[in-house]
Amino acid sequence: TGSSDPYCIVKIDDEAIIRTATVWKTLSPFWGEEYEVHLQPTFHSISIYVMDEDALSRDDVIGKVCITRDMLAEHPKGYSGWVSLSEVDPDEEVQGEIHLRVEVLGSQGSRRLRCTVLEAR
Asked if 16 and 27 count as a contact pair (C-beta separation under 8 A), the reply is no
Return d(Cα 51, Cα 60) in angstroms, integer: 6
In a domain, 109, yes or no: yes
- Residue 114: phi and psi, rounded to 5, are -110, 120
Report yes or no on 64 lying in a domain.
yes
Confidence of residue 1 (pLDDT cuts 50, 70, 90): low
Residues 32-57 pLDDT 10s: 999 999 998 899 999 999 999 998 99
Mean pLDDT score, 47-71: 94
Report the 10 Å Cβ neighbour count for 18.
18
* Structural domain for 43, as ranges: 6-120
For the domain that residue 73 is a member of, what is the CATH number? 2.60.40.150
- Residue 1 in any domain: the answer is no
Please state, rounded to an integer, the average pLDDT across all residues of the chain.
Answer: 93
Assigned domain for 107 exists: yes
Section 98-115 average pLDDT:
90
* pLDDT number for residue 2: 77
